[in-house]
Chains A and B, each alone.
Chain A
């Protein structure tokens, strides 16, 4: 099975890259979005869900920087 880990900036942290992407989207002629936030995405191939706690530790200590980022973990069958 696959596990997806999403890392994104906290809502309280400015995201200049997201803002720049939004201006480009606006320049393409689309105006339906009011905000874009950019993040990172990691995909793991694993046997089962027993790794969830270990993954949380990895996400906390390596994949994200808790000062500015938060993460979520999603198992996909």
Chain B
């Protein structure tokens, strides 16, 4: 397996993702520069967190037209695995690879803290090492994480079990109090219909090794490695 981490001007979680994939998971990993059009034969593309192109216009709006992203759209449409974290999730909704949009947090504040997430779908390449209904503790750090989708789109996500993570309390309760940013139905992460593209606002790469406060994000990367095929 080979992974590629995209680097936009303004990406700031690219090295974290690279570190976890390469040094913790033992996966051959390369950086993919935003002006490049060669995906270098990777099996997994990671769109990392940060502020691509300074978040000018809208988060992810400029990245949508970058040379590398047009190749990533083709890659995803052919079944390639794409993981978008935080700003990467915003890029995925802007390109239309994932439905919906990410708006300013309900309370108009940047939220930076650990959050409980309930794993609602453990049958994806990104979540198979979790148990369905399991509660994990993963940091969030965003200003625009308030997931919005219209009623029809939401019904489709729910019916097709595309919601992978929801903001919850420690017992897995999801309600308005545990909804930290105002997202519809507490949505923190979703997959596309085919299940090969995941977008999530929380940062699994910030809690994926022993030195960190939790190791709950490790299992997301382990799921990917087991799904795509062992370490290099």
Contacts and interface: CB of A to CB of B under 8 A. Distances in A.
Interface in A21-63: 62-63
A63 B150 CA distance: 20
Interface residues of B, number: 19
Interface string B92-108: 01100001110110111
Given A65-B101, A67-B101, A16 B107 contact: yes
Interface stretch (B5-13, B32-40, B57-65, B133-141): B57-65
A62 B65 contact: yes
Contacts of B64: 62
Q: Is the interface of B mostly helix, strand, loop or mixed?
A: loop
Contact count band on A: 10 to 19
B148 interface: yes
Given A17-B108, A65-B58, A68-B103, A12 B150 contact: yes
13 contacts: A13-B148, A14-B182, A17-B104, A20-B108, A62-B57, A62-B61, A62-B64, A65-B58, A65-B61, A65-B94, A65-B101, A67-B99, A67-B150
Interface of A: 12-14, 16-17, 20, 62-63, 65, 67-68
Interface of B: 57-58, 61, 64-65, 93-94, 99-101, 103-104, 106-108, 148-150, 182
